[in-house]
Amino acid sequence: MNVIAVPGPSAIIAALSISGITAREFVYPGFLPPKHNMRVKMLEELRLEHRTIVFYEAPHRLLDSLSDIYDVFGDRYCAVCHELTKLNEEVLRGRLSVLIGELQQKVIAGEYVLVLEGKAVEGITVEDAIPEVWGLMKKGLRRKEAARMISQQYGLSQKALYDKSLKQEERDEA
Weakest mean pLDDT among 21-25, 145-149, 170-174: 170-174
Q: What 3-state class would DSSP assign to 119?
A: coil
Indicate the length of the chain as a whole number.
174
The domain at 11-119 falls in which architecture?
2-Layer Sandwich (3.30)
Instruction: Please tell me the least confidently modeled range out of 44-53, 62-71, 85-94.
Output: 85-94
Residue 173 predicted with pLDDT over 80: no
**Residue 162 near residue 143 (C-beta atoms within 8 A):** yes
pLDDT at residue 143, as a whole number = 94
Cα→Cα distances 60→63, 92, 99, 108, 132, Å: 8, 18, 16, 7, 31
Q: Is 154 exposed, middle or buried (0-12, 13-18, 19+ CB in 10 A)?
A: buried
pLDDT digits (tens, 9 = 90+) for 105-151: 988 888 899 999 998 766 678 888 898 898 888 888 899 988 988 88
* Gap between the Cα atoms of 44 and 69, Å rounded: 9
- Whether 174 shows a pLDDT value over 70: the answer reads no
Share of the chain above pLDDT 70, in %: 93
pLDDT for residue 9 is more than 80: no
- Dihedral in degrees, nearest 10, Cα atoms 45, 47, 53, 59: 80
The rounded distance, in Å, linking the Cα atoms of 13 and 116 is 14
